Amino acid sequence: MQSKLNKYGYLFILPFFAVFLTFTVYPILLTFYYSFTSYSGFGDAAFIGMENYQRLLSDNYFWEAFYNTLYIWGINFGFQLGIALLLALLFSDIRLKMKGLSFFRAAFYLPNLITIASVALLFGILLGWHHGTINHLLLDLGLINEPINWLNNPTTARWSVALIGAWMWFGHTFIILMAGISGISSDYFEAALIDGANRFQMFLKITLPLLKPIMLYVLITSLIGGLQIFDLPMLLTDGRGAPQGSLNTMVLYLYNQAFKFNNYGYAAAIAYGLFIITVCFSLITFKAMYRKSVKGE
Amino acid sequence: MQPGKDNKQKIIKGFFYFLLTLLVVISFIPFYMMIINATRSNADILREGFTLIPGTAIVDNYHVLLEYMNLWRGFLNSLIVAVAVTVLSSYFSALTAFGFAIYKFKGSNFLFVTILVLMMVPGQLGLIGFYDIMRTFGFLDSYIPLIVPPIASTFTVFFLRQFLSSVLHSSLIEAARIDGAGEFKIFHKIGIPMMMPAISTMAIFAFIGSWNNYILPLVVLFSPEKYTLPVMMGALRGSQVAQNLGAMYLGIAISVVPIMIAFVFLSKYIISSISAGAVKE
C-alpha cells in the first residue's frame, strides 16, 4: 500500500522545489554568471572574464570594507559573548541559586526584537553631536567637557556600531547558552560540589567543555550574520559608510555598487567574494574548535 | 550553617542582583529616553537637554510626524507581509517536511542533502540575480518578492523534518489510510497537528525575520505607500521630520512600542522557541 503512495512524496515537495529553484537557486547561479560580466542593469551583459574578480582583489574600498566588517564584528562578539557567558555563569551556579531567570532573560532579549532600522534611527539621534541625549547626559554628569561627535570619528563610529550590536545580541546569546546549560545533567555539578570544586573550576571544567557545540553554533551564526552587517551602518551614516569610510561594510559596499552605481556585474563579484570569505571563516572556526576538543580529550 | 557565612552569601547575591538590575537599566534606558523625548518639543530637547521627566508636546509631535509620513500605513504593510510570510512558510515547510518524512521516493536523500547544503549559503549571495529576475517578471514594487520566496524556507523544512521523525508513529497513518483517508487529508488532520509545536516555533522566527527585514524591501519597493515599516523608518531619517527631534523620537516610538507590548505577552513563548531552535540544531 505504502509503495503505491510513495509518488505522493514528489507532490508534497513540489511547491517547495518550484519556489526554491526559481527564487533561490536560479538567482544564485545568475549572480554567478553576472560576476563575469560588465552588466549595468540594462541591455546586454558583456562577458569580461575574470576582470571583476581581479578588480576586487586590488580594490582598496573592498578590503577596507572587509576590515571594517571584521573590526565591528570582533568587538561586538567579544562583548556579546563575554556578557552572556558571565550571565550564564551566574545563573548556572548551583550554590547561588539566583532567582528571576525568566524575567532577566526577557528583559535582556528585548533589544533584539526591535527592528534594527528603528534601533539605528534611535541611536542616530541619541548619539547626535550638539543635541544628542548621550552627550547631554555625559555633560551633565561632568564626564566630558565638550560634546563628542560620536558618529563622525572613525574609531568612535566603529565602536558605537559594535556596542549597539552587542547591546542587541547579548540577551539572545545568553538565552542560547542557558538552553545549552539546562541540557547538562546536574549530577556533574553536584559531584563537583562534593569534591570541593569552586564555581570557577566548575565553570571551566564542566560547563564550558560541555557547552562547546552550542558555542560553535553561536560563533558560526554570529559570524555569518556579522559578515553581512548592513542595516546599522546604512542607517547610521549617509548610506555610504562615512566617516572616512569607517562604517563601509561589505554588504553596504555591495548594495551601493549595485543599486546606487548600477555596477551589477561588479556587485555580483563582491557577493561571491563575501561568500568565499564566509566559507573560509566558517571552516577555520570549525577546524579550530574541533582541534581544541581533540586536544582536550 | 554559621551566620557569618550566610551573611557573606547574602551580600554576594545582593551585589549580583545589583549588577543584573544595572544591565536591565542599560537594556531599557534607550527606549525610556525615546518615550520621554517623544513627548517633548524640539525646542525643549535642544534647550533643556537630558531629563527623565516627560514633556507635553506629544500631540504636536504627532501632527508634525503625520504631516510627512503615515507610519501606521507602514505598520499595516509590515503586518500584511509578515502574516503572509508566516502562513506560507509554515504551511509549505510542513508539507515538504511531511513529504520527506513519510514517503520513500527516488532521489529524496539527494534532494534533502541539497537543502542542507544550501541552508549554509548566506542570503545576500543571490541578491543581484534575484533583483534582476524580479524585474524581468515585473514583480518589482510589489509584495511578491517578499512573500513568495519564504515558501522555500530551508531551515524550517530541516527543523520540521527532524521533529517529525522523532514524534511520528507510522501506525497512526496506516490506520487513517485503512479508514479511507486521502494523503492530503492525512497531512491536514494528522501531520499538521503532530508538527504544531515545531511549526509554531518556526512561525515565530518567520514573523520576526520578516518584520525586521530591511535590505530586501529597500531594494524591491519604490512607492512610499507600499513601504514596510523599516523602509519607512529609513525614509523618515532623510525627511523634513528629522528637523524636529521630538517628532522623530515619536516616529521611532510608534515603530517600537507595539512590539514591546506584544513581547510582554509573548516573551515566554518566544524565548522557549529560541532555546528549542538552538538545542535541536
What is the per-residue DSSP string for chain A?
Answer: -HHHHTTHHHHHHHHHHHHHIIIIIHHHHHHHHHTTB---SSS---B-TTHHHHHHHT-HHHHHHHHHHHHHHHHHHHHHHHHHHHHHHHHT-TTT----HHHHHHHHHHHHHS-HHHHHHHHHHHT-TTT-HHHHHHHHTTS-SS---GGGSHHHHHHHHHHHHHHHHHHHHHHHHHHHHHTS-HHHHHHHHHTT--HHHHIIIIIHHHTHHHHHHHHHHHHHHHHT--HHHHHHSSSS--STTTT--HHHHHHIIIIIT--HHHHHHHHHHHHHHHHHHHHHHHHHHHHHHHHH-
CA dihedral defined by A75, A76, A79, A85, rounded to 10 degrees?
A: -130
Confidence of residue A285 (pLDDT cuts 50, 70, 90): confident
Per-position b or e across A238-247, b if 16+ CB within 10 A of its CB:
ebebbbebbb
State the pLDDT confidence band at B154, using cuts at 50, 70 and 90.
Answer: very high
Examine the pLDDT at B3 and tell me if it is beyond 80.
Answer: no
Residue A2 pLDDT exceeds 70: no
Nearest-Cα residue of chain A relative to residue B49? A136
CB-CB under 8 Å, A282 with B279: no
**B225 has a chain A CB within 8 A of its CB:** no
Burial label, B72 (beta-carbon count in 10 A; 0-12, 13-18, 19+): exposed
Shortest Cα distance from B35 to chain A (angstroms)? 11
- State yes or no: pLDDT of B268 exceeds 90: no
A249 CB neighbours in chain B (<8 A) are: none
Over residues B176-226, the pLDDT tens digits come to 999 988 999 999 999 999 999 899 888 988 998 999 899 999 999 999 999
Residue B280's pLDDT is 58
| Distance from C-alpha of B167 to C-alpha of B170, rounded to nearest angstrom | 10
- Residue A252: other Cβ atoms inside 10 A: 25
B180 part of contact set with chain A, CB < 8 Å: no
Distance CA A88, CA B77 (A): 39
Work out the pLDDT band at B149, boundaries 50, 70, 90. very high
Q: Give the pTM.
A: 0.90
Position B75 pLDDT exceeds 80: yes
User: Which chain A residues are Cβ-neighbours of B251 within 8 angstroms?
Assistant: 121
Within 8 A of A122 by CB-CB distance, chain B residues are 30-31, 34, 249, 252, 256
CA A169, CA A109: separation in Å to the nearest integer? 7
Q: B193 CA to chain A: closest CA distance, Å?
A: 17
- According to the model, what pLDDT value does residue A240 have? 83
Interchain CB contact of B255 with A (< 8 Å) = yes
Tell the burial category of B22 from Cβ atoms under 10 Å away from its Cβ (0-12, 13-18, 19+): exposed
Q: Is B236 on the interface with A (CB under 8 A)?
A: yes
- B27/A108 Cβ within 8 A: yes
Whether the CB-CB separation of A147 and A178 falls below 8 Å is answered with: no
Contacts of B105 (CB under 8 A, 6+ apart): A6, A7, A9, A10
Alpha-carbon distance of A285 to B1, in angstroms, equals 47
Question: What is the C-alpha separation between A80 and B19, in angstroms, rounded?
Answer: 16
Nearest chain A residue (CA) to B213 = A115
- CA–CA gap between residue A38 and residue A48 (Å, rounded): 7
pLDDT at B247: 92
The B residues from 92 to 111 touching A (CB cutoff 8 Å) are 92-93, 95-96, 98-100, 102-105, 108, 111
The stretch B126-150 carries a mean pLDDT of 96
Answer whether A217 sits within 8 Å of B278, measured CB to CB.
Answer: yes
Q: What mean pLDDT is predicted for residues B55-84?
A: 92
Domains annotated on chain A, with CATH:
61-296 (1.10.3720.10)
Residues of chain A neighbouring B214 (CB-CB closer than 8 A): 115-117, 230-231, 234
HSE on the CB side for B155, CA within 13 Å?
A: 16
Mean pLDDT of B269-276: 84
Nearest C-alpha in B relative to A272: B125
CA distance A186 to chain B (A): 17
Nearest to B183 among A8, A87, A176 (CB): A8
Q: Indicate the average pLDDT of chain B.
A: 90
- Please report which confidence band the pLDDT of residue B266 belongs to, taking 50, 70 and 90 as the band edges: confident
For B128, which of A10, A17, A258 is closest by C-beta distance? A258
How big is the CA angle at B230 (ends B224 and B234), to the nearest 5 degrees? 70
Query: Residue B149 corresponds to which cell in the numbers above?
Result: 520566496
Residue B104, C-beta contacts closer than 8 angstroms, at least 6 positions apart: A2, A3, A6, A9
B13, B20, B260: residue with CB nearest A110: B260
Written as one letter, the residue type at A101 is L
What count of CB pairs under 8 Å joins A to B?
A: 284
Q: Which of A124, A264, A268 sits opposite B237 (nearest CB)?
A: A124
Q: Which domains can be identified in chain B, with CATH numbers?
A: 3-63 (no CATH), 70-238 (1.10.3720.10)
B222: exposed, middle or buried (C-beta count within 10 Å: 0-12, 13-18, 19+)?
A: exposed
Write the DSSP assignment of B114-141 as a string of letters: HHHHHHTS-GGGGHHHHHHHHHHHT-TT
How does residue A296 score in pLDDT terms, banded at 50, 70 and 90?
A: very low
Query: CA of A60 to nearest chain B CA: how many angstroms apart?
Result: 21
Give pLDDT, residue A73.
Answer: 96
Spatial separation of the C-alpha atoms in residues B234 and A237, rounded to whole Å = 11
Closest CA to A178 of A84, A78, A82: A84
pLDDT for A39 beyond 60: yes
Q: What is the pLDDT of residues B241-262, one digit of tens each?
A: 888 899 999 999 998 998 889 8
User: Distance (Å) from the C-alpha of residue B264 to the closest C-alpha of chain A?
Assistant: 9
Residues in B touching A38 (Cβ below 8 Å): none
**pLDDT in the model for residue B142:** 97
Ranking A31-35, A199-203, B160-164 by mean pLDDT, the lowest is A199-203
pLDDT at A185: 81
Decide if A116 and B212 are in contact by the 8 Å CB cutoff.
yes
Distance CA B199, CA A150 (A): 43
> Which of B128, B186, B208 would best serve as a mutation to test chain A binding (most A beta carbons within 10 A)?
B128
Size of chain A in residues:
297
Residues 6 or more apart in contact with residue A73 via CB below 8 angstroms: A162, A165, A222, A223, A226, A227, A229
